[in-house]
Structure 1
Amino acid sequence: MARKKKSTHLGTPALRALNDAGVEYELFEYEHSPVMDHGYALDTSAVLGIEPQYIFKTLLTECDGESVVAVVPASSQLNLKALAKAADAKAASMMDPSKAEKITGYVTGGISPLGQRSTLRTFIDESALELDMILVSGGKRNLSVRLGAQDLAEAINAQFAIIQTGQNRKSTALN
């Protein structure tokens, strides 16, 4: 069963980044299912009993050779063409997981948009703005944080854009 805790410990770079930015958040620590058929983000949704549109996965991409972070709901897929357009690039592709681990300092399944080794351009799907709170990785497997989408964007200097499949609304940038 999932355990939910509020914590102020500084265990991961992601949590340190949130604390340094003064962002309010709630910490969720849990165990993933023994068999994950749909990946970490959807398993987090199932284990915590939270709808997948509230769980956001962090994906590492390359846009014209630049490392770019995309944050999209677990319930959707990243639209690489839309991400390339948002990043003013000609093309985007998914980054090899081992390269993503090296660049971010996190392991696959625990990559957070917060506290990465270097500051990368980050795009959060605009659907996050419609939600009171979202969950993102807290910097390791089995650890997530719930926070406001605007708080996340401000903490990592991210932009909002339509980057998931199936959306047709106008994008907005946070600067």
Structure 2
Amino acid sequence: MSKTTRATLFLKQKGAQFTVHTYDYDPDADKVGIQAAEALGERPERVLKTLMALVDGKPVCVVVPSDREVSMKKLAAVFGGKSAQMMKPADAERATGYVVGGISPFGQKKAAPTAIEEAALVHDLVYLNGGQRGLQVRLRPSDIAGLLDAKMAPLVSDE
């Protein structure tokens, strides 16, 4: 597996401090983010998942802990929209240039406005997809927000 992806190149170009971690990706896992956390020996709330959604038909990137679900109502509100829905996997792959299970918020083909669950800020370091299945990057959540010019907001469902 190559540890150099568009995501890691993006992070290097921006001078970000990060480490790269690999794990055995299970394509049959029910929840890819949870499987990544288990494989890395980390708590799920420290392993963030990258999702692509549409707010009023426009692509957005959403980063939340792997054990939580996005509230579409909260997501729409963060971007000043009326409605939000998850992007179809094929559309997410086309928009980002990454395959599902390997979508990173960094180095996307066409950068989308990004929102990050504010609860991620309580951790010193978190993991995010590094642009390839089985590849994670670990860095400070505040660095993620700055690198992506992301909105920090409550995004997860209350259930």
TM-score between the two structures when normalised by the length of structure 2: 0.95
**Could you say which residue in structure 1 is the equivalent of 2:81?**
89
1:27 to 20, 32, 54: 20
Q: Deviations over 1:82-114 (max 9, x none)?
A: 000001000000000000000000000000010
Q: Deviations over 1:64-86 (max 9, x none)?
A: 01101110000100111000000
| Structure-2 separation of matches of 1:126 and 1:150 | 10
Whether 2:53 is the aligned partner of 1:70: answer no
The question of whether the paired residues in 2 share the 8 Å contact of 1:42 and 1:75 is answered with yes
Q: Structure 2: any 5+ residue segments left out of the alignment?
A: none
Displacement, 1:32? Answer: 2.2
Displacement, 1:33? Answer: 3.9
Displacement, 1:159? Answer: 1.0
Q: Deviations over 1:101-157 (max 9, x none)?
A: 000000000000100011210000001111111100000000000100111111111
| Structure-1 separation of matches of 2:98 and 2:4 | 13
Q: Structure 1: any 5+ residue segments left out of the alignment?
A: 1-8, 168-175
> Judging changes above 3 Å, is the alpha-carbon distance between structure 1 residues 21 and 81 closer, same or farther for their aligned structure 2 residues?
same
SS of residue paired to 1:135: strand
The question of whether the paired residues in 2 share the 8 Å contact of 1:58 and 1:69 is answered with yes
1:18 to 7, 11, 18: 11
Return the letter of the residue paired with 2:151.
Q
Return the letter of the residue paired with 1:12.
T
Select the structure of larger CA radius of gyration: 1
The question of whether the paired residues in 1 share the 8 Å contact of 2:55 and 2:79 is answered with yes
Deviates more, 1:109-118 or 1:151-160: 151-160
| Structure-2 separation of matches of 1:34 and 1:77 | 20
Whether 2:100 is the aligned partner of 1:108: answer yes
Return the letter of the residue paired with 1:23.
A
Return the letter of the residue paired with 1:17.
F
| Structure-1 separation of matches of 2:106 and 2:84 | 21
Work out the percentage of aligned pairs sharing the same amino acid: 35
| Structure-1 separation of matches of 2:5 and 2:47 | 19
**Could you say which residue in structure 2 is the equivalent of 1:134?**
126
Q: Deviations over 1:3-41 (max 9, x none)?
A: xxxxxx8711100110011111111011124741x3211
Return the letter of the residue paired with 2:139.
L
TM-score between the two structures when normalised by the length of structure 1: 0.87
